[in-house]
Amino acid sequence: MFLVTTPIYYVNDEPHIGHFYTTLAADVLARYYRALGKEVFFLTGTDEHGLKMQKSAQERSLSPKELADKNSSIFKSLWDELGISYTRFIRTTEKDHIELVKEVFLKCKENGFIYKGEYSGWYCVGCEEFKPESELLEGNACPIHLKPCEYITEPTYFFKLTAFGDFIKDFLKSGAVMPAGRVNEILSFIQEGLKDLSVTRPRSRVSWGIPVPFDKEHTIYVWFDALFNYVSGLPSWPASLHLVGKDILRFHALYWPAFLKSVNLELPERIFAHGWWKVEGQKMSKSLGNVLKPADLITSWGLDEIRYFLLREIPFGEDGDISNDAILRRINAELSNGVGNLFSRVIGIAIKFGKTQISGLKDVYYCNKAEEFVKSYHSKMQDIDFYGALEEVMSFCAFLNKYIDTKAPWALKDEELISNVLYALLDGVSLVCSCLEPFMPNKMQKALSAIGLSAPIFSPCAKQSHRVFNQLTLFPRR
Ligand SMILES: [Zn+2]
């Protein structure tokens, strides 16, 4: 089974393009593996505990649970509206999750990795973590939130992170964490020297959270609580893939493997950290008022078009820029002129010849090309290289367009020759639409049914015949 996860999103935030980006990537992989006939479990959800939620709820005169219910449903209904094909939407306030976290926390202590002490340091409420002094900006400000941290001393339980340094290094060097460039950042963080991690907060300060099972005066740290959603939410463990933003890779590639090892659980098979988007060249921020909401972008350009753009514009893992010009270029050059044009050209030729059922002799040259294409497409998809996979599709579209020009079927008189060329073209178009289906499910399902297919197919030249039902304009030029 392919078990893929997104981070659970913190319900104090409003859904923005970053949330959509991770969720989209998981959705594309889930759809891809389902199309291959594999069983898939796709887990997403919301992270609901912690001081920030407790404070926000207070400001709004709500209970933290009421605010969590309200905000969690914003995420869930957005994913539903956008057709995200998740299997389970988990909430950290659910009973089965809370029970599991208590159980593993206790086990961690029994295994000797939790001990009581006292912690002093600079604490950022926004990040819900203590910040090393070396990372603070002027005025002891958090480098992410740009607001001053609070210096606090409090009793706490520590997790013996220092016991896992070599273990984590081995994990990081195993190739399980991608892309490789980001692994070095974490390795150098370890190089600076690990410290044991404070994993509880006094209940007097943070009451909105899971209580430490053996000491009711303390609440379990939000990250310890949140990360274990992957274990409580998936039907089996380990996960095949965690998709995360680069800002939270440290939690996933450093703390998470240590937490798991401390309670004798296996490590996830892969962790992939993606980059961040700028908007028209500017960093997105609340203060600049340019936080991009997925719904707005989709209203302007279309759901499938935006899904395509986000995974095509830059290699997954790098940082990118969203601009109207760039979106327009991708839609016109690749979707309208590339895929859409090829599709209507081929259907047009078939209709012109009055053929709706085409069986032909298999052109070995075409079949070999198609085999090669499908093979590279799969290898890129399995490497989580969306950009590369889409590049393969675009090259194959260009090949098919050239194939039409070279074979010039409109000038052919011989019935058999015409059938052979049409067979190759329809076979090619069905592969293109199939390979694009995980990325643009709405349009591609329509395209596939216009050529008589109810589901994607990935085997070139395997069908005896192809059918044509109707012509479609898939991507009108903008
Ligand atoms: Zn912060």
Q: Please state the φ and ψ torsions of residue 46, each to the nearest 5 degrees.
A: -130, 145
Q: What is d(CA 105, CA 195) in angstroms, rounded to the nearest whole number?
A: 19
User: Could you tell me what percent of the chain has a pLDDT over 90?
Assistant: 87
468 C-alpha to ligand 1 centroid (Å): 57
Residue 290 has what pLDDT? 83
Residues by chain with Cβ below 5 Å of ion ligand 1: 124, 126-127, 142, 144-145
Residue 54 has what pLDDT? 92
User: Could you tell me what percent of the chain has a pLDDT over 70?
Assistant: 100
Q: Is 16 a catalytic residue?
A: yes
268 contacts 201 by C-beta, under 8 angstroms: no
Q: 316: which DSSP letter?
A: B
Give the start-to-end residue ranges of the domains of the chain: 2-275, 324-467
Give me 278's structure tokens: 């700028």
C-alpha dihedral, 273 to 177 to 391 to 342, nearest 10°: -70
Q: At what angle do helices 64-81 and 51-59 cross, to 10 degrees?
A: 100
Average pLDDT for 353-361: 88
Q: What is d(CA 200, CA 158) in angstroms, rounded to the nearest whole number?
A: 7
Which amino acid appears at position 420 of this protein?
Answer: N
Band of residue 126 on the pLDDT scale cut at 50, 70, 90: confident
Q: Is 19 a catalytic residue?
A: yes
397 C-alpha to ligand 1 centroid (Å): 46
Does the pLDDT value for residue 292 go beyond 90?
A: no
Residue 238 has what pLDDT? 98
Residue 14 has what pLDDT? 87
Q: Of 439, 399, 233, which is closest to residue 316 (Cα–Cα)?
A: 439
SS3 assignment, position 272:
strand
451 contacts 466 by C-beta, under 8 angstroms: yes
Q: How far is CA 428 from the centre of its chain?
A: 28
Does the pLDDT value for residue 456 go beyond 90?
A: yes
Residue 44 has what pLDDT? 98
CATH fold for domain 324-467: Isoleucyl-tRNA Synthetase; Domain 1 (1.10.730)
Q: Of 228, 217, 283, which is closest to residue 255 (Cα–Cα)?
A: 228
Q: Is 124 a catalytic residue?
A: yes
Residue 49 has what pLDDT? 96
Q: What is d(CA 51, CA 32) in angstroms, rounded to the nearest whole number?
A: 38
Band of residue 442 on the pLDDT scale cut at 50, 70, 90: very high
Rounded to the nearest integer, the mean pLDDT of the chain is: 95
Which amino acid appears at position 44 of this protein?
Answer: T
CATH fold for domain 2-275: Rossmann fold (3.40.50)
Q: What is d(CA 20, CA 26) in angstroms, rounded to the nearest whole number?
A: 10
305 C-alpha to ligand 1 centroid (Å): 34
Q: 94: which DSSP letter?
A: S
143 C-alpha to ligand 1 centroid (Å): 6
CB atoms inside a 10 Å sphere around CB 140? 15
Q: Is 218 a catalytic residue?
A: no
146 C-alpha to ligand 1 centroid (Å): 7
Does the pLDDT value for residue 128 go beyond 90?
A: no
Please write the tens of the pLDDT for every residue from 256-271. 999 999 999 999 999 9
Q: Is 397 a catalytic residue?
A: no
Residue 165 has what pLDDT? 95
244 C-alpha to ligand 1 centroid (Å): 18
Q: Are strands 241-245 and 270-274 parallel, antiparallel or unpaired?
A: parallel
Q: What is d(CA 349, CA 424) in angstroms, rounded to the nearest whole number?
A: 12
Q: Is 142 a catalytic residue?
A: yes
Q: Is 116 a catalytic residue?
A: no
- Among the residue ranges 281-285, 319-323, 453-457, the one predicted with the least confidence is 281-285
Residue 318 has what pLDDT? 97
Which amino acid appears at position 458 of this protein?
Answer: F
Band of residue 371 on the pLDDT scale cut at 50, 70, 90: very high
Q: What is d(CA 190, CA 184) in angstroms, rounded to the nearest whole number?
A: 10
Band of residue 87 on the pLDDT scale cut at 50, 70, 90: very high
Average pLDDT for 396-423: 94
Residues 140-148: contacts with CB within 8 Å, 24+ apart? Answer: 144/247
Residue 149 has what pLDDT? 94
Please write the tens of the pLDDT for every residue from 146-204. 999 999 898 999 999 999 999 999 999 999 999 998 999 899 999 999 999 999 999 98
